[in-house]
Chains A and B, each alone.
Chain A
Amino acid sequence: MVLLETANPSSGRPLTVAIFGAGLIGSAIVSRLEASASLRKEELPFNWTDSSIQLGQLQDVETRILTGLGPNTKQLLSCSKLGAAQRLLRIVWSAGSAGFGASHDETERELHVFRMVLDMAERLAVQYPGDPVSFYLMSSAGGLFEGQRHVDQNSRPTPPRRPYGLLKQCQEEFVMAAHHTIVKKIYRLTSVYGFIRTRHRRGLVPTMILNGARRQATHIIGGMDTLRDFIWVEDVAGFIARQLLDDSEASTESPYTLASGKPCSIHEIQKIVESTIGRKTYMTYSLDRSNSEDITFSNSLHPKGWFSSDLRLGSIRIYNDLVHSGILFNRV
Chain B
Amino acid sequence: MEKVYLSTVIPVYQGGPYLESLVKELLTVKASLDYEEGPLQLIEAIFVDDSSIDDSSEILSGLQAKHPWVRILPLSRNFGQHPASVAGILHSSGDWVATLDEDLQHHPQFLIPLLMYAIANRQDVVYANPKDPVHNSLFRDLSSRLYKVLISKLSNNPHVPYFNSFRMMRGSVARAAASVSSPTTYFDIALCWFTSRFGQLKLPLRDQRSGCRSGYNLGALIQHSWRMLVSSEIKVLKVAAISGFAAVVVSLGAALYTLIQKLFYPEAIRLIGWTSLIIMTFFFGGLLCFLLGIVLEFMSVLVLQAQGKPTFFVVDRTKDKLLSPLVEKYRQSWSC
Q: Which of A's residues lie within 8 Å of B, judged by CB?
A: 149-150, 152-154, 223-225, 227, 261-265, 267-268, 271-272, 285, 294, 296, 298-300
Contact = CB atoms under 8 A, between A and B. Distances in A.
Given A149-B94, A150-B5, A265-B172, 15 more contacts: A149-B5, A150-B43, A150-B93, A152-B68, A153-B68, A225-B171, A225-B314, A227-B93, A262-B90, A263-B92, A264-B90, A265-B175, A267-B175, A285-B314, A294-B93
Interface string B36-68: 000000011000000000000000000010001
Contacts of A296: 93
Interface string B154-182: 00000000000000000110011001100
Nearest to B43: A150
With most chain B CB atoms within 10 A of its CB, the pick from A150, A261, A263, A296 is A150
A227 to B, nearest CB: 6
Nearest to A264: B90
Contacts of B93: 149-150, 227, 263, 294, 296
B68 A224 contact: no
Contacts of B43: 149-150
Contacts of B171: 225
A27 B175 CA distance: 34
B30 to A, nearest CB: 13
Nearest to B314: A224
B71 interface: yes
B179 A265 contact: yes
A268 B71 contact: no
A127 to B, nearest CB: 45
A95 to B, nearest CB: 30
Contacts of A150: 5, 43-44, 93
24 contacts: A149-B43, A149-B94, A150-B5, A150-B43, A152-B68, A223-B314, A223-B316, A224-B176, A225-B172, A225-B176, A225-B314, A225-B315, A227-B93, A261-B91, A263-B93, A263-B175, A264-B90, A265-B176, A265-B179, A267-B179, A267-B313, A268-B176, A298-B71, A300-B68
Contact of A271 (B5, B91, B179): B179
B285 interface: no
Contacts of B176: 224-225, 265, 267-268
Contacts of A263: 91-93, 175
A285 B316 CA distance: 14
A225 B316 contact: yes
A262 B46 CA distance: 11
A308 to B, nearest CB: 12
B308 interface: yes
A103 B44 CA distance: 35
A281 to B, nearest CB: 12
Contacts of B91: 261-263
Contacts of A262: 90-91
A13 to B, nearest CB: 38
Nearest to B182: A275
B71 A300 contact: yes
Contacts of B64: 300
Interface in B178-218: 179-180
Nearest to B310: A267
A153 B180 CA distance: 32
Contacts of A265: 172, 175-176, 179
Interface residues on B, range: 20 to 34
B15 to A, nearest CB: 21
B84 to A, nearest CB: 15
8 closest residue pairs by CB, A with B: A225-B172, A268-B179, A296-B93, A263-B93, A150-B43, A271-B179, A149-B93, A267-B176
B68 A154 contact: yes
With most chain A CB atoms within 10 A of its CB, the pick from B5, B90, B171, B179 is B179
Given A149-B93, A150-B93, A224-B314, A268 B175 contact: yes
A71 B291 CA distance: 82
A110 B64 CA distance: 41
Interface string B89-103: 011111000000000
B39 to A, nearest CB: 14
A261 B91 CA distance: 8
Contacts of A152: 68
Interface string B1-41: 00001000000000000000000000000000000000000
Contacts of B68: 152-154, 298, 300
Given A150-B5, A154-B68, A262-B90, A224 B44 contact: no
Nearest to A275: B308
B8 to A, nearest CB: 13
Nearest to A294: B93
B44 A298 contact: yes
Contacts of A268: 90, 175-176, 179
Contacts of A271: 179-180, 308
A224 B179 contact: no
Nearest to A297: B93
Nearest to B70: A300
A29 to B, nearest CB: 28
Interface string B286-326: 00000000000000000000001000011110000000000
Contacts of A154: 68
Contacts of A153: 68
Nearest to A272: B179
Contacts of A225: 171-172, 175-176, 314-316
A285 B313 CA distance: 12
Interface in B261-294: none
With most chain B CB atoms within 10 A of its CB, the pick from A223, A225, A294, A298 is A225
A164 B308 CA distance: 36
Contacts of A285: 314
Contacts of A294: 93
Contacts of A223: 314, 316
Interface string B225-238: 00000000000000
Nearest to B5: A149
A98 to B, nearest CB: 27
